[in-house]
């Protein structure tokens, strides 16, 4: 009997989550169609090499993380920006010989900027950290940390990398 009750409870929870997602989709659909970003919710992470993270919701939500450059010469994707409240997404690491992506801007009222991505090997700088919340709006939040620069490459004297 307990197994049957536990199964029914799990089913009810799954149905409740489905209803919540449907309601959130209905709220976000007009804003997504008009402005290309949701009203409430987190931005999508970049998936293809060097793709930028998606912007978070206008009211609430974190920016998505930028994807790593993976291949040589492909810069890391920038982190997505937050809306009013939320944290910026982290920048993706650069591929060999490419810069890391910049971190996304934190929320205008509250939120931290995303960390910049690390630069790829061969004297390439890391990405910039994202901006924190705006002080003029009395927002609170910190700027994101900049990404680490890449390890130096062996260069013969008198030549430039």
Residue 147: domain span: 43-151
**What distance in Å separates the CA atoms of residue 105 and residue 65, rounded to the nearest whole number?**
12
Quote the mean pLDDT of the chain: 78
The Cα-based distances of 161 to 72, 96, 120, 121, 123 in angstroms read: 15, 13, 14, 12, 8
Please state the domain count of the chain.
2
- Tell me the whole-structure pTM to 2 decimals: 0.71
Same domain (yes/no): 18, 67: no
Partnered with residue 85 across adjacent β-strands are 60, 110
Residues in contact with 104: Cβ distance below 8 Å, sequence separation at least 6, in sequence order: 53, 55, 63, 64, 66, 78, 79, 80, 81, 82, 87, 88, 89, 90, 91, 113, 114, 130, 144
pLDDT band at 135 (very low <50, low <70, confident <90, very high): very low
Q: What is the pLDDT of residue 136?
A: 46
* Structure confidence by residue, pLDDT tens digits, 111-125: 888 888 888 776 556
**More confident site: 130 or 65:** 65
Same domain (yes/no): 24, 71: no
Q: What is the pLDDT of residue 155?
A: 47
Task: Please check whether residue 109 lies inside any domain of the structure.
Answer: yes
Q: What does the pLDDT average to over 87-91?
A: 92
Task: Please check whether residue 99 lies inside any domain of the structure.
Answer: yes
For 85, what's the count of Cα atoms within 13 Å in the CB-facing half-sphere? 5
* Structure confidence by residue, pLDDT tens digits, 11-36: 666 656 677 888 888 888 998 899 88
């Amino acid at each position: 009997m307990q197994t049957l009750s536990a199964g029914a409870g799990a089913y009810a929870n799954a149905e409740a989550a489905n209803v919540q997602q449907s309601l959130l989709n209905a709220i976000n659909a007009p804003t997504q169609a008009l402005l290309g970003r949701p009203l409430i919710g987190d931005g999508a992470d970049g998936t293809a090499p060097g793709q930028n993270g998606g912007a978070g919701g206008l009211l609430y939500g974190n920016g998505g993380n930028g994807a790593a450059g993976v291949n040589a010469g492909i810069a890391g994707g920038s982190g997505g920006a937050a809306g009013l409240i939320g944290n910026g997404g982290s920048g993706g690491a650069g591929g060999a010989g490419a810069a890391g992506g910049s971190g996304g801007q934190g929320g205008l009222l509250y939120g931290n900027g995303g960390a910049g991505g690390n630069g790829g090997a061969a004297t390439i700088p890391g990405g910039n950290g994202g901006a924190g919340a705006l002080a003029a709006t009395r927002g609170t939040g910190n700027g994101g940390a900049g990404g680490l620069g890449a390890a130096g490459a062996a260069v013969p004297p008198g030549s430039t990398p």
